[in-house]
Amino acid sequence: MLSNIKYHFTSLHWYFRVLTVLTFSYSSLTFGQTREQWVTESGTKVIFVQSVNLPMVDIVVDFSAGAAFDPPGKEGLARLTMRMLDKGTPENDEHAIAARLAATGSQMGGNFDLDRSGVSLRSLSYEETLATSVRLFTEVLSQPNFPQSVVDREKEALITSIRERNTRPASVASRALSEALFGQHPYRSSGAGTETTIQSLTVDDLVYFHERFYRASNASITIVGNLTLKSAESIARQLSENLPVGVSERESLEVTTPVSSQQEIVIPHDTEQAHIRIGMVGIQRGDPDHLPLVLGNQILGGGGMTSILYDELREKRGMTYGVGSYFNPLRDPGPFVISFQTKQEQAWEALDITTEILKNFIDNGPNAKQVDQAKRYFIGAFALNVDSNGELLNYYSNINFYDLPLNYIDSFSDRVTAVTVDQIKDAIKRRMSLDKAVSVIVGPAKLLDEPNG
Amino acid sequence: MFKKEYKNNFAYRFATKFLLLVSSFAAVLAVTEARSEGQIFKHRLSNGLEIVVKPDHRSPVAAVMVWYRAGSIDEVGGTTGIAHLLEHMMFQGTETLAPGEHAKKIAATGGRSNAFTSTDYTGYLQELHSSELELAIQLEADRMRNLLLQDEEFNNELRVVMEERRQRVDDNPRGLLMEQLASAMYVSHPYRNPIVGWMNDLENLTIQDAADWYDRWYVPNNAALVIAGDVETDEVVRLAEKYFGVIKEKQLPVRKPQEEPRRLGNRTVTVKANTTMMSQIQAYAVPKLKDVAKDWEPYALYLLAGVLDGHAAARLHKRMVLEERIAHSVSVSYDGLGRGPGAFYVSYSPVGGGKLSDLDNSWKDEIARLVQDGVSETELSLVKAQVIAGQVFSSDSVLGQANRMGRMWAIGFEPDAPEAINEKLRLITPEEVQKVAAKYLVNAETVTAVLEPKTSK
């Protein structure tokens, strides 16, 4: 289930959220009234938000154990560890785990990125259902036993996926960009691994990774739903005290993020459209320029069908179905990326236009009207970003994982209001530059030979 | 999964969250509210516009949708893709709004707007602060009547849609496979055509085609205003009267049934694409849901799909992926809620360099076993547990609630049909599941699409 999350019976396939950067706020929270934060005796940070309107509970346990923590040469270990959690414990094999979960109607899921391995549970809140689900959830988080033959099978599945991914131009483009931006920093790898590194993974590697990274003090637990504070405390304690113990610090990276330098990468690939990326190393969580820059990005390439890139490339020129840009702020500075695809014949023209737009944006910044619109969008959009239990879980798990203040969102609209045009222009000028920009273009070989063709 | 919808806006991906608007029919069938905070309210204006409202006051937001009962199923020769193209044009200006201004006005409030086209319908949505209800209704009413189709915008959107086609289909092996499967499944029924349109049809669409489509289908008596969220029904009706009430109803064209002739044998189509992974999807012709109260086979088929692939412990994944280790992935789904014919699908891909024939044998054997030995009460209860929990989980989003009601209306059911459907699902017995498996999956005429790696040149 963690590797193969199925929604057939449970939800409309509507993922409509762009929870970006923890940056929306509103003055009154109309649901999620009770909100508490504490640390368990075992050292796990907890946030609980009560939401009583639906008989359900969402829990996510985030470990500082993302792709960036893969040991060199063992890329793919973090992801395989997460995938293996529900594939066997001393008490239950994978079939028993699956059957027990199915009987409750609950769902487990995984959310894996560069910084974290996040494992989630969604259950009905009826006492017995919830207790059974949480027991099973605790068991898979704390006692996976990585049966050799299952590990072999899952490694083969990962390798099959890697081979397939290598045929996809979007994957090829993204990987090339990350490698060029991040040099030797672990953010260069998405954590998928290569055939060679996956092949090299052993049961001992998995045991090591789990022992070291799935520690109570390396975890944060976020709970949203229809339960009392007392029940939430009890669930958090149960989850936390069963996790491996060890050193009490959280894992962190000890590498400095590089500054990217200007580069153009051209990769021939069997594809209809050319896939284009422009990126540079961006910002980290808690960066003082965070808010000005994400507001700036909203104007350049953010959502809402109103951005400069959308207007210029799609509305004016019909060059692409979708174009946009984002900052991905991580524990260390993450990437800023512009991305789109266009028919091969106009790839170079589209890249030139986009580069020119970016240059102009960095040089001149947005105008007062654009900034006003972006601010109103951010403030107005807040209600939409916390209008369901699923949204609240996302929001608060980010606050929890990245150690942001609990009232971060309450003060948000004031902070957005306070940002000035000059602050945005200044932040863009200091933090963004074409000298740092890496361009990647993936497309058919015949068109890539002649950059001016 | 198989009733694709095409969205207007490639909503941009922030970090790892991606706007994905895939609609699986199976999803709709199972998702309803276990206990609704507000009842579903229905009302019809004198011009025929249906109004459906589901109050949900958890949060100060509202999902405001307008649905038109017009999709690719209604397209006629040489104009495939026009339903979807018109959906794009609905953002390109009216007599009083400049191109793009609709989206800008919504974004200025922090709201989101978007639209989607399916085989059976076209839908428009605004998700916004509930204090902006009137703005959304006003804008939707405006473009139902006052759309301004202009050459420059039309030609531009046509280029955008061609890029969309390249992205979703031509450059996507799975997209190609699904397109070819649908074409092989139907020789007569319009489900054979892709929603996005064939490239050559797109190249030859004219602004007159768009105008004709708009005149024909964008009328109040072919539409529903569907709202879920922090709203009062009286207020919705008042605003709907004010803005939509002035639009005149219009006689709709006759819709021809275009029933698919019986299959005379198996059909197979092969797609070669840039992929390393073989995969296959097989379609069985099965009944769709027509009468919520009287039918039982569609419910049994739905649960049959669940027994085979409805949860982590379901039969096929367990057998083919976990135990036999011959499949990289396997999936089963039942598509029985639509204006066109129903279908039952199984798809899989072999692990490593495995052969598809091994997977075929395993699938056939599992069906034979199910038909012979039946399904246990316990096994069926696991599937029903997903249905029951799913009812609650799916109420978490107001947009999801509006979507569910609108879709039910669009395919010809009452917006609150899911409640009755869920009740019926709970009553289905193991014997009924066994019966539909025997009747529809054994000795059936199937259509198969096979994806093969392109041999490198």
Please give the ipTM for the structure prediction.
0.89
* SS3 assignment, position B129: strand
* Domain match, A207 and A285 both: no
Q: B60 vs A10: CB contact, 8 Å cut-off? A: no
Interatomic CA distance for residues B449 and B177, integer angstroms: 7
Structural domain ending residue among the three candidates A183, A211, A242: A242
| Averaged pLDDT score across all residues of chain B | 91
Q: Is A11 on the interface with B (CB under 8 A)?
A: yes
The per-residue pLDDT for A431 is 96
Structural domain ending residue among the three candidates A242, A273, A291: A242
Q: A167 vs B311: CB contact, 8 Å cut-off? A: no
* Domain match, A126 and A274 both: no
List pLDDT tens digits, range A359-418. 999 999 999 999 999 999 999 888 888 889 999 999 999 999 999 988 887 888 899 999
CB A45, CB A221: distance < 8 Å: yes
State which residues form the domain around A374: 263-448
Closest Cα in chain B to A380: B110
Nearest to B291, CA basis, from B258, B226, B337, B344? B337
Strand positions, DSSP E, A64-207? 107-112, 117-124
Which of B103, B110, B454 lies closest to A380 in CB terms?
B110
Structural domain ending residue among the three candidates A207, A242, A277: A242
- Kindly provide the b/e burial profile for residues A90-109, where b requires at least 16 CB atoms within 10 angstroms of the residue's own CB: eebebeebbbbbbbbbbbbb
Is the residue at A272 inside a domain?
yes
Does residue B255 carry a pLDDT above 50? yes
Q: Is B376 on the interface with A (CB under 8 A)?
A: no
* Domain match, A226 and A270 both: no
Interacting residues of A384 by C-beta distance below 8 A, sequence separation 6+: B61, B110, B111, B112, B127, B128, B129
- The CATH homologous superfamily to which domain B267-453 belongs is Metalloenzyme, LuxS/M16 peptidase-like (3.30.830.10)
Does residue B21 carry a pLDDT above 60? no
Interacting residues of A291 by C-beta distance below 8 A, sequence separation 6+: A23, A415, A416, A419
Does residue A2 carry a pLDDT above 90? no
Q: B12 vs A98: CB contact, 8 Å cut-off? A: no
* Domain match, A199 and A338 both: no
List pLDDT tens digits, range A33-86. 689 999 999 999 999 999 998 999 999 999 999 999 999 999 999 999 999 999
Ordered by start, the domain boundaries in chain B are 6-243, 267-453
- Domains B6-243 and B267-453 belong to one CATH topology: yes
A-chain CB neighbours of B17 within 8 Å are 15, 17-19
Is the residue at A318 inside a domain?
yes
The per-residue pLDDT for B10 is 36
Interacting residues of B244 by C-beta distance below 8 A, sequence separation 6+: B45, B47, B49, B137, B140, B141, B144, B220, B225
Architecture (CATH level 2) of domain B6-243:
2-Layer Sandwich (3.30)
Interacting residues of B210 by C-beta distance below 8 A, sequence separation 6+: B82, B85, B86, B89, B149, B154
* Domain match, A167 and A98 both: yes
CB A173, CB A276: distance < 8 Å: yes
Is the residue at A26 inside a domain?
no
CB B275, CB B283: distance < 8 Å: no
Is the residue at A13 inside a domain?
no
List pLDDT tens digits, range A419-437. 999 999 999 999 999 999 9
Confidence (pTM)? 0.91
Interatomic CA distance for residues A16 and A349, integer angstroms: 32
* Domain match, A227 and A329 both: no
* Domain match, A94 and A155 both: yes
Residue B157 tokens, joined: 């959107």
B-chain CB neighbours of A56 within 8 Å are 392-393, 396
**In whole angstroms, how large is the CA radius of gyration of chain B?**
22
Percentage of chain B beyond pLDDT 70 is: 91
Number of domains in chain A: 2
Q: Which sign, positive or negative, has the C-alpha torsion B211, B69, B127, A13? A: negative
Percentage of chain B beyond pLDDT 90 is: 88
The residue with tokens 């619109």 is A373
Interatomic CA distance for residues B96 and A289, integer angstroms: 40
For an interface test with A, the pick among B162, B337, B393 (most A C-beta atoms closer than 10 Å) comes out as B393
Q: A8 vs B21: CB contact, 8 Å cut-off? A: no
Is the residue at A422 inside a domain?
yes
Does residue B20 carry a pLDDT above 60? no
A214-228, B211-225, B237-251, B385-399: least confident range: B385-399
Does residue A19 carry a pLDDT above 60? no
Q: B100 vs A311: CB contact, 8 Å cut-off? A: yes
What CATH number corresponds to the domain at position A397? 3.30.830.10
* Domain match, A176 and A282 both: no
Task: Identify the DSSP state of A250.
Answer: P
The per-residue pLDDT for B456 is 56
List pLDDT tens digits, range B139-193. 999 999 999 999 999 999 999 999 999 999 999 999 999 999 999 999 999 999 9
The per-residue pLDDT for B14 is 26
* Domain match, A208 and A267 both: no
